[in-house]
Amino acid sequence: MSASDALVRTGALVRTQTDAEEAVAESERRLRALLETISTLDLEVETLASELAAFSARYERELSVAFAQLERRERLVRRLQALQDELVRLDAELRAPQPKVSGRKSRKKSARSHQADREEVEGERPWTPGATLDDDVPEPLSPPPDLASEAQTLKRLYRKLARMLHPDLARTEEERHRLHQLMVQVNLAFERTDRTALELFLVRVDRGELLDMSVSVDERLAHVEQRIAALTPVRRSLLADLDRLRATSTFRLHAEWTGLQELGRDSFQETLTELAEDAERTMRDALARMGRLDRAARELTALKPSLTEAKPEGALRTFDPILESPLVRKGAERLERRRASSEARTLAQTLEDAVEQAPWEATLVLMAFFAERAGRPPDALSNREGWAERYAAMTAAWPEAPAFEELLTRLPPPLELGLRLQGGKVRFGLQLKSVELLAGVPIALERRTVAMLAQRVLAHLGPREQCKGCGADVFLVHLLRTRGLDELNGLVCPACGHVAKSYFLFNWSEGQEALLPFALKAGLVDEVVVKLAGKGIAFQLVPVSREALTVGALKQLFTDLYLKPYGIAAEPADLVVKAGARALKDEARVEAPVLTLGIRKADRDSLAPALAGDAQELVALLRSRIERRFRPG
């Protein structure tokens, strides 16, 4: 080989070596750029995720209550809409009934499936008194899962460990083996989603540069390219994370908030205002729907008899779809014959707890119970406005109690806004979810605390007016001024005992009158019984009148309610009241619950002719004149 050939070959080798070194240098520049990009992206992802998490937390803190209120009201509207749709369906089916046999089985199946769907949607949860103010809300707003999820945290830990423990970073075979074993453990921990193990690995690993400078150019080039190949998916993953963050609704809200903030506007306050307006509109819609539902139920009741009555000449009776409707439950007829279920007994216990912990919820349950047990709800509970007024009067002493409209959106679990068929009529309103639960309330009324609250509820179910006796603004209490020989209803002022109204009912007892047994049991009304010729005659009084009742006043009651109305010219002085064999003076307080009433024996010539005989003759005379009152003409 000549000297010139050797020089040419040497130059070629030098250029080849230089090209390889330049390739390595270029690869290292790419690697550094990639690492810098990854670090920038990682920081950007971390920063954006942190900003969005902080924004989401503030969003929840400032707006979650308003969103929850709106959601509850929208849920109420959906419930009312479902009831409206059912009434429309029932109206159409009553007007165009299907053949009786063909649809009955399918209707029952539909009712069962509808009920199952309803239970799945609504969910049954135990009644925790007071929890409806805090717990019965939708899931609170939280950062989207792609911001701070467990999976995302695991990915970040894994990426950090992979960058530091990758075997390509080892300088010796021994170290490569060690790093390989560590990465095996990291991979296993990642597959197990063992966050604790990954965090401990991260603390323990060496954070220094592990590149071996003694390797050949080719090895270095191969190594750098391998690292670039290993890190390129990391860059793609970070870019995907960043894109995913920017695609979230939280990012859009944050961007909107930032833009408005730059303009000097408060996005949170504006959103609160919008939510409040939406919630107000939604509640107005709900209240309007309640009024329409009540009217629709009345119209359906009026329509039902004309379309379900028996057909002439032995034709089949029209099928009654109301009886099969999954949204119209049975009413409380003959409830006293039902045996209390375990759910009813649980309700009784919880109702007693609610009196202490959330009396407004117990009040609403008692109001719903009395509205149904009255057959026809008392006039005070015949519409939503009456419910709201009575509830507001009851809860005035409890500042923490929610408004009636608000409580409608977070009803205690035993209650619902629904439809029921009772006494042949379809009624809409607040009710216990099942007839079986109604049996639990009388059990609870045996407890003193529940009975005292029931007394207050019953005291607010009468008409409201200014008493002409004492001038107080009161809810009048219903009672039977007398029963036994005659039966005279009365509305009485609870503050002074003044009788605002007296009236007769003819074998008919619904509404407030039907609740009198509960009023007596709860102590809202007291009763004194006198026996005239063995016939018991009762006089009912409010406590203020009962406590002040004297023997003279009792004789005056008998005179005013029995003697004068039936034309018997007698005075209280012609009567005598005894406790056992002892005659009582007029000024004596009436303490015994049962007394004996008789005619004064002395100086019979001075008595009214009707009293000249004995007490049995007086009872016979009163009976005949009372019966005559009901005869036509």
Check pLDDT > 80 for residue 434. yes
Confidence band of 408 (pLDDT split at 50, 70, 90)? very high
176 within domain boundaries: no
Reported confidence tier of residue 107, pLDDT bands at 50, 70, 90: very low
Beta strands in 441-559 (DSSP E): 464-466, 473-475, 477-482, 488-492, 499-503, 526-532, 535-541
If pLDDT is split at 50, 70 and 90, which confidence band does 613 have? low
Spatial distance between the Cα atoms of 122 and 79, rounded to a whole number of angstroms: 10
Last residue of a domain, one of 459, 487, 516: 459
Per cent of the chain over pLDDT 70 is 77
The winner for highest mean pLDDT among 102-111, 130-139, 360-369 is 360-369
Q: What is the structure's pLDDT at 581?
A: 87
Q: Are residues 365 and 399 in the same domain?
A: yes
pLDDT digits (tens, 9 = 90+) for 33-67: 888 898 899 899 999 999 999 988 888 899 889 98
The amino acid occupying position 75 is: R
In this structure, are 226 and 297 located in the same domain? yes
pLDDT (mean) for 269-287: 92
**Is the model's pLDDT at 177 over the cut of 60?**
yes
pLDDT surpassing 80 at residue 106: no
- pLDDT value of residue 437: 92
pLDDT at position 400 is 95
- The C-alpha atoms of residue 535 and residue 299 are separated, in whole angstroms, by 46
Give residue 5's pLDDT.
56
In this structure, the answer to whether residues 341 and 487 fall within a common structural domain is no
Residue given tokens 């803190």 in the structure block: 61
Q: Residues 450-475: what's their mean pLDDT?
A: 96
Q: Average pLDDT, whole number, for the chain?
A: 81
Query: What is the rounded distance in angstroms from the CA atom of residue 132 to the CA atom of residue 361?
Result: 9
Question: Both 497 and 615 in a single domain?
Answer: yes
Q: Is residue 178 part of a domain?
A: no
Where among 425, 459, 493 does a domain terminate?
459
Per-residue pLDDT, 569: 79
The rounded distance, in Å, linking the Cα atoms of 633 and 618 is 24
User: Is the pLDDT assigned to residue 299 strictly greater than 60?
Assistant: yes
- Considering the domain architecture, whether residues 535 and 614 belong to the same structural domain is answered as yes
Q: Are residues 420 and 448 in the same domain?
A: yes
Regarding whether 530 and 427 lie in a shared domain, the answer is no
Higher pLDDT, 125 or 321: 321
Residue 505 has pLDDT above 70, yes or no: yes
| Position 114 pLDDT exceeds 80 | no
Helix axes 173-191, 195-204, angle to 10 degrees: 160
Per-residue model confidence as pLDDT tens digits over 212-233: 333 466 766 777 788 788 888 8
Q: For residue 371, what are its two tokens?
A: 């509205």
Beta strands in 262-316 (DSSP E): none
Crossing angle of helices 3-95/249-262, nearest 10°? 90
Q: What was the pLDDT predicted at 336?
A: 52
For residue 202, tell me if it sits in a domain: no
Mean pLDDT within 26-32: 83
Is the model's pLDDT at 615 over the cut of 70? yes
The string of pLDDT tens digits covering residues 119-143 is 444 445 678 887 654 444 333 333 3
Choose between 192 and 553: higher pLDDT.
Answer: 553
Whether residues 473 and 620 fall in one domain:
yes
Over range 321-325, report the average pLDDT: 82
Q: What is the band of 423 on the pLDDT scale with cuts at 50, 70, 90?
A: confident
Is residue 7 pLDDT above 90, yes or no?
no
* Domain CATH number, residue 504: 3.10.20.90
More confident residue, 450 or 332: 450
Assess whether 487 and 614 both reside in one domain.
yes
> For the residues 163-179, what does the mean pLDDT come to?
70
Amino acid 213: pLDDT: 31
Q: Which DSSP string do the residues of 485-506 spell out, in sequence order?
A: S--EEEEE-TTT--EEEEE--S
Distances (CA, A) of 546 to 6, 519, 592: 135, 15, 11
Half-sphere exposure of 474 (CA within 13 A, CB side): 22
- Provide the pLDDT confidence category of residue 101 given band limits of 50, 70 and 90: very low
Sheet of 477-482: strand order equals 477-482, 488-492, 499-503
192 lies in some domain: no
Closest listed residue to residue 493, CA positions, set 509, 512, 473, 508: 473
Residues 485 and 602 in one domain: yes
**What is the reported pLDDT for 116?**
43
Report yes or no: 195 and 153 within 8 Å, Cβ to Cβ: yes
End residue of a domain, out of 459, 474, 501: 459
Predicted confidence at residue 525, as pLDDT, reads 96
Beta bridge partners of 445: none
Residue 579 is assigned to a structural domain of this protein? yes
Residue 131 lies in a domain: no
What is the pLDDT at residue 188? 79
- The verdict on 481 and 570 lying in the same domain is yes
- The answer to whether 71 touches 139, Cβ cutoff 8 Å, is no
Contact between 286 and 73 (Cβ < 8 Å): yes
The pLDDT-based confidence of 156 (bands split at 50, 70, 90) is confident
| Proportion of the chain above pLDDT 90, given as a percent | 43
pLDDT(153) > 80 = no
Same domain, 240 and 334: no
Provide DSSP, 412-437. Answer: -TTEEEEEEEETTEEEEEEEESSHHH
Q: What is the average per-residue pLDDT within 557-572? A: 89
Domain encompassing residue 445: 324-459
Please state the domain count of the chain: 3
